[in-house]
Amino acid sequence: MRHARSNGQVIRYADMFAAMGAAPRLRILRLLLAAHPRGLVAGAIRQRLGIPASTLSHHLDTLRDVGLLRVRREGTFLWYTANTDSLQQLMNFLYAECCTRSQAVAPDRCVLVRQALAPPMRKVNS
Amino acid sequence: MRHARSNGQVIRYADMFAAMGAAPRLRILRLLLAAHPRGLVAGAIRQRLGIPASTLSHHLDTLRDVGLLRVRREGTFLWYTANTDSLQQLMNFLYAECCTRSQAVAPDRCVLVRQALAPPMRKVNS
DNA sequence: CGCATGATTCGATTATACTAGAAAGACGAA
DNA sequence: TTCGTCTTTCTAGTATAATCGAATCATGCG
């Protein structure tokens, strides 16, 4: 049944949106994207955002549970990185819903498409 | 202070993600996008998704509060439509974080860019 | 007005999420 | 092994969200 899968997909993306739907977690994600692909150790995130360690750990868990983060250990440090595959899927889902399945948002009004279509910028002095 | 604004923007997008972060609401949004630009009356959404009227009303409120929905009255009916401006901003935020501010996701791995770059499909018989 | 219909608000319950101090686990170095 | 550091789990309190029946509001019609 094709519908069952599509149903599960909606739940999956809803979970991802929910994980991003809290300011502390969205900030974490932004930080990790800016630090990509190296990522950051938990302590560095804690220090930059001023979040208590236990609170941060739960937020990282939430993001990891939905597949938005990956983690690898290096000695006593845990390196967190954004999972770009998931983010890509999420963007494509959003684009599909808004611009493909419907014409709600015209494709050429998305930054991505505008950039792809635009002639390369000329660098200007000063 | 530039930081304050960026801070507020993060909160705004987090709120939008949170609103989409529940399966019933994401389904509502999908439905309204598919029905764009006409939208749907509340009763039609209720019937299609099988949600009790009062529950649905709260979900619609949540989506409207963050600016993802618009509503207009026509007689006793309330027509709900997706707010494409907000969705566009949200997509562009996501793209900026993933592909511009960082190179986490290569721009050409986004459906949008691929579509814009690809040569037009040739229509095939049968 | 009196009534029917569409939709929201009220009221209440239940469930889930957020937060964070304290304790415990994991690892490396001496 | 003992210690120190990094991080997570435990525990618990508070807050917010989800749900839905009943009551209410809004509108149009006869």
Q: Kindly list the residues from chain B whose CB atom is less than 8 angstroms away from the CB atom of residue A10.
A: 23, 26-27, 30
Q: What's the pLDDT tens digit per position in B29-88?
A: 999 999 999 999 999 999 999 999 999 999 999 999 999 999 999 999 999 999 999 999
Band of the pLDDT at A108, cuts 50, 70, 90? confident
Of A25, A88, A98, the CB nearest to B105: A88
Nearby residues of A26 by Cβ (< 8 Å), 6 or more positions away: A20, B10, B13, B14, B17
Nucleotide with C1' nearest the A54 CA: C20
From the list B112, B74, B114, the residue with the least C-alpha distance to B91 is: B112
List protein-proximal bases of chain D (any atom < 7 A from a CB).
4-10, 17-23, 26-28
- State whether B98 and A87 contact (CB < 8 Å): yes
Closest C-alpha to A88, from B99, B65, B93: B99
* pTM (predicted TM-score): 0.90
pLDDT at A126: 43
A6 CB and strand D closer than 7 A = no
Q: State the first-to-last Cα distance of chain A, in angstroms, to the nearest integer.
A: 60
Report the pLDDT averaged over residues A57-74: 98
Question: Residues B99, B104, B108, B114: what is their CA dihedral angle, to the nearest 10 degrees?
Answer: -80
Alpha-carbon torsion (B105, B10, B22, B77), positive or negative: negative
For residue B120 the two structure tokens come to: 């037009």
**Interval B102-126 mean pLDDT:** 67
Q: Mutating which of B49, B94, B112 best tests the A interface, going by the most A Cβ atoms within 10 A? A: B112
